[in-house]
Each structure stands twice: as C-alpha cells, then as structure tokens.
A and B are shown apart, each in its own frame.
Chain A
C-alpha cells in the first residue's frame, strides 16, 4: 500500500514538473504587461487579458507567419509523402539492377548531418533565385531517406498475391500504386505525415538561414526574431510561444497513436 502511494506520488509530481513550463507559459500569456516579471512569481493572471495575443496579431502580424508555417508544413508533407511512397513501393515490390546498392547507400547517408549540406544548398538556391521564397523550404524537404525506409518496411508486408491478382485484372503499375498500395499503407502514411508536418513546423536552423524577410518567416524564426526585441516582455513572448506550440500539440493529441507507433517502427531497424 505504502509502496503504491509512493510510486503514484512520484509519478504525479514528476508529471506536474514536466508540465509546469507549459502551465506557466499559458498562464503568463494572459497577463498584462509586466505582470509576469514580479517576485514572487504569479502562477495565475491577477487580471486576465487577451492584450498579448491582440498585439501579436495586430501590430506584429504573426498571422502571416502562422500562415507561412501552415502552408509550408502542408506542402512539404504532401510532396514528400508522394515521392517517398513511390520510392518506398519500388524498393519493396520491384526487382531492378542496383536495388540493394542504392538502398544501402541511401541508408548509410543517414549518418550525414544535414548541416553539412547547408552551405552549398544555400548557394544553389541563391543561383535559382529561390532564397527568401517558399521554394527554399520545400525543395530540400521533397524526399527523405527515413520516409522511404519506413514506407518500404510497411509495403514489404503487403502480400504479393494482391498485386498479382490486380495485374491479372488488367491494372497497370500506377493503378496498383494508388489503388492498392496507398490505401493499404494508410497507417504508415498517416504516421509519416505527422512526423513530416511537425518536423517542418518545428524546424529552425534552415528557415533561419534561407528566409530573411519577416513576411516570409515561419513561426519559430519570427518568434526568435521577436525575442531579440522583447527580452523584457515575458507575457508577449509566452503568447507567441503558445501560438507556435498549440497547433503541433493539438495534432499530436488527436493522432498520438500513429505518432507513437511511428517511433516504435523507426526503432526496429537493425
């Protein structure tokens, strides 16, 4: 009995400590200017206000940044899901020259940190005239090895007989891809969609490098930029953080099963 109480007590206290930064973030975002900079700290707003959110959306125009983040996350997710699923399907169900060699090369490239590519990629996009445009974010996100790998693993488990019988019924390769493989691979595609959406939404270093107009900024870049001018305004910065975090948190809570399954799938690779 005592042991169980202790265990729950520990779990609840550490759970509260884990959530405390979020609780304070939300609470401070509803405070008036300066009301979060007091000692002892306030845990709840003494006067509840939407002022910080109003400032963000009217004067600082974060709605544009919110829109950028949404648009880019959706486009990168759709494009990379299409490209990755086609390649994953090919690696899982076709035999062709150099298949194993290409796949091994792709897998081993995962050890190369993205930072290595950033300087030449920057110069390349500059030549194309893509700096400070949406293309600068979309182009490097069009396909990725992790996605191809995850989809390949999943599609390999789809029985060949399904493909064979569709072929006998006269389906061509492309019909097999979008009428059989895509519907059956839906669970892994949803998982990957969440990963990609959140990854693009949360990404910071690359957008910081290639976007240099506040109108083009994604939310994290806009937020980091705002922090430079508002180091003494925790209330405003907390409202900005809420706006940045809330969409990914909602998506995660709604689709957590898929997300958690994806982490486990990703971890079974040898």
Chain B
C-alpha cells in the first residue's frame, strides 16, 4: 500500500523537485555570482562575488525606479480593484437584481482573455488621436491626453487596464463569501433597527474578513508580477515610468544576459511577496485570536 503511494507521488514530485525546487536554489546561488553571457558559453567563467549583485542593485537608480513603479501599481490598483469587485459582488448579490448570471458573465469576461491580446486592444483604445477613450472623454470636455506617451499618465493607464481585466475574478470570490453569510444575521439586525449602512459595516464587512484577506493576498501576489502590460504597451517607458520589477528582471536577464544580477532582482521580488503574504497572515491571525 505504501509502495503504491510513493509510485503515485513520484512523477509529480520529481517534476516539481527537479524543475521548481532545484531552480529556486540555483537562482539563489546564482544571485551571488557574476554569471553573465560569457559564463553561458563556458560554465567555468564565473565566480562567487558575495553580495556584490545586491549592492549594485541597491545603488542602481533604475532598480529603485522599477521598485517604486511596481509599488505604485500594486498600492493603487490593488485596493481599487478589490473595492470595485466588492461593489459589483454586492450589487449582483442584491435581491433586487434579476438576470444575475448574465451580468456576472459579462463582468467576468475580461478575466479569461489573453493578457497580451487585451493589452494590444487597449493600446489602441489609448491612442491619443484615434482612440476610443479620448473620443469618449471629449464629450465631457476633456482635452486629448497622450495616455501611454505621458510619463504621468502611463502608469494610471496600465492600472485602469489591469482593474478592468481582473475585477471579475475577485467579484466571484466575494459573491461566494456573501452567500456564506447567514440570512438570520441580517434579519436580527433589521429587527433591532439597524439601517443598511450599519448592516454593511457591522455584519457584511466583518463576516467577509477572511475572504477579503485571501483576496488581498492573491491580488497582491499577482500584481507584483506586472509584466505583459508594460511590455506590450510601453516597453517600460516613457522615461521608465512603467518599468516594473519583472520587466527589469527580464531585460537584465534575457536581453543583456546579466544572469547573476537578474537572479538578485528575482529574489528581491520573492522577499517582497513573502513579506506581504506573512504580514497579512499575521494580521488575520491577530484578528481571529
């Protein structure tokens, strides 16, 4: 019986061990070397340089720019998209609304589509001359904006795209969370004379807290990995205003083949995501304790 268990486990665990765990460890080691394009041709041509990559990283303005840009993106689109998801979930969970299935489907549609393709579509929607967005805004008297060409607008444009692309996913999870809240709680509150706002803040929000924390963690992890949108729409520009950590890692590692340096970037990303996840898990534990 035990032998069977190991047989069943072997293919998956071998694949994960060889093609995930070993690369993680290797990346960690490479991040302490000067592994570059010469070393790819000849593996004897690299050496351990200790913390040199990390030192260079923290002295590099471009890295800080990428870090700040990525935090800007996560801090702005994370809470915004979660708020919109919650709003949509509340509306679609309301007893007043019929045809819930259709609305849910429509709002969810962007989630399943290919990020590269929709980034291309939005690139044309943001076109300063012919784009739909400027056309729509012209009716509100807004002057033409060069969305992707203006360093101040490029990141907000990417934020808008990513909210549109993702809010449906969290909306579905919120709807599931809302349906798990017992109806009696609301009935009791109504008898006690609580108004709609009080019912929302005193029942809905606290009961949704575990869902919200889960959503915050997965949204944060996903958003820190921002890559395809700037790659397609701005190539990190203008003036590096949309350069993200992963885009910077990609450029250093796979365009310039500075693999040691690039691995160090990847590990900084990992540490950030790990810290964020642990903080939120700690917060959740403190709440429930």
Contacts and interface: CB of A to CB of B under 8 A. Distances in A.
Contacts, number: 251
A154 interface: no
A109 B19 CA distance: 13
A70 interface: no
B282 interface: no
Contacts of A87: 8-9, 11-13
A198 interface: yes
A117 B24 contact: yes
B105 interface: yes
A32 interface: no
B106 A119 contact: no
Contacts of B16: 106, 109, 143-145
A87 B117 CA distance: 35
B5 A238 contact: no
A11 interface: yes
B66 interface: no
B206 interface: no
Given A112-B270, A173-B1, A148 B12 contact: yes
A238 B23 CA distance: 38
Nearest to A144: B16
Nearest to B102: A15
B8 A260 contact: no
B64 interface: no
Contact of B225 (A115, A140, A148, A264): A115
A196 interface: no
Interface residues of A, number: 91
B115 A227 contact: no
Nearest to A173: B4
Contact of A259 (B9, B88, B112, B263): B112
A201 interface: yes
Given A115-B246, A120-B23, A220 B116 contact: yes
Interface stretch (A46-54, A55-63, A89-97, A184-192): A89-97
A104 interface: no
B173 A264 contact: yes
B289 interface: no
A132 interface: no
Interface string B257-274: 001001100110110011
Contacts of B132: 20, 24, 41
Interface stretch (B69-77, B118-126, B182-190): B118-126
A227 B27 contact: no
B147 interface: no
Contacts of B117: 220, 223, 240-241, 244-245
A248 B112 contact: yes
Given A94-B4, A237-B124, A241-B117, A116 B267 contact: yes
Given A121-B23, A148-B12, A238-B124, A115 B269 contact: yes
B227 A142 contact: no
Contacts of B2: 94-97
A41 B135 contact: yes
Given A115-B225, A248-B114, A249-B112, A143 B23 contact: no
A267 B174 CA distance: 10
A2 interface: no
A204 B214 CA distance: 25
20 contacts: A3-B96, A4-B96, A7-B94, A19-B109, A41-B132, A86-B9, A87-B11, A94-B1, A95-B5, A96-B5, A113-B269, A115-B269, A118-B253, A119-B262, A126-B40, A223-B120, A224-B120, A234-B127, A241-B117, A244-B114
Interface of A: 3-4, 7-8, 10-11, 14-15, 18-22, 24-25, 28, 36-41, 82-84, 86-87, 89-91, 94-97, 102, 106, 109, 111-113, 115-124, 126, 139-140, 142-145, 148, 172-174, 177, 198, 201-202, 204-205, 209, 219-221, 223-224, 227, 234, 237-238, 240-241, 244-245, 248-249, 252-253, 256, 259-260, 263-264, 267
